[in-house]
A and B are shown apart, each in its own frame.
Chain A
Amino acid sequence: GAVVSQHPSRVICKSGTSVKIECRSLDFQATTMFWYRQFPKQSLMLMATSNEGSKATYEQGVEKDKFLINHASLTLSTLTVTSAHPEDSSFYICSASYRTDSLTDTQYFGPGTRLTVL
């Protein structure tokens, strides 16, 4: 149980185009979804947290207009990289959680999306 999928797994796009990445919780309803970015051989950096039906909360330094997050349902969140540039090339990972209690809630991670902007 607790499977999270991401689509697409890889995407290559031209500079200036927009790219949408989907994150789905397949067998549970996610109260919260998270979007991370990971550069090669580095750790995950949280970009934003989204709760179903409300606006995403972005981390400091993350451009809201650049990285649009929509959490339309309890099983789907999307990240749109607008007007992508080569420096946006990265590995984007989503995770989803359902809140149990503050000591044991677990995030379940998707397999990631490799974005390459030419």
Chain B
Amino acid sequence: SQQGEEDPQALSIQEGENATMNCSYKTSINNLQWYRQNSGRGLVHLILIRSNEREKHSGRLRVTLDTSKKSSSLLITASRAADTASYFCATRGGGGNKLTFGTGTQLKVEL
């Protein structure tokens, strides 16, 4: 079963607007990561937030983590058409080094 579920499944916005994607997970984690995937391509690592962190920034990206609610959000500010892609959260937990991916959000940024 999927560890993470993301919402919305699909998001369409205008260029310049902010995009927010949410991820929920079920078990305890060591860290949570966000990835971007352009259609038919591999994944690009965006940002990693540790379980003892609450917020992290990287350029136009802002990630929050609420371990009490087992949820995370990814905010992309001032979106661009090039941000159009699928975004996945992935959690790493327990003693292993496996990543469990969420269901993904398909973001479309229109000109």
Contact = CB atoms under 8 A, between A and B. Distances in A.
A109 B50 CA distance: 20
B36 to A, nearest CB: 11
A103 B50 contact: yes
A96 to B, nearest CB: 11
A97 B97 CA distance: 9
Interface residues of B, number: 27
A90 B62 CA distance: 32
Given A43-B2, A43-B88, A44-B88, A107 B99 contact: yes
A52 to B, nearest CB: 14
Nearest to B31: A103
Interface in B85-106: 88, 92, 95, 97-104, 106
Interface of B: 2, 30-31, 33, 35, 40-45, 48, 50-52, 88, 92, 95, 97-104, 106
Interface of A: 4, 6, 32, 34, 41-46, 49, 91, 93, 95, 97, 99, 102-112, 114
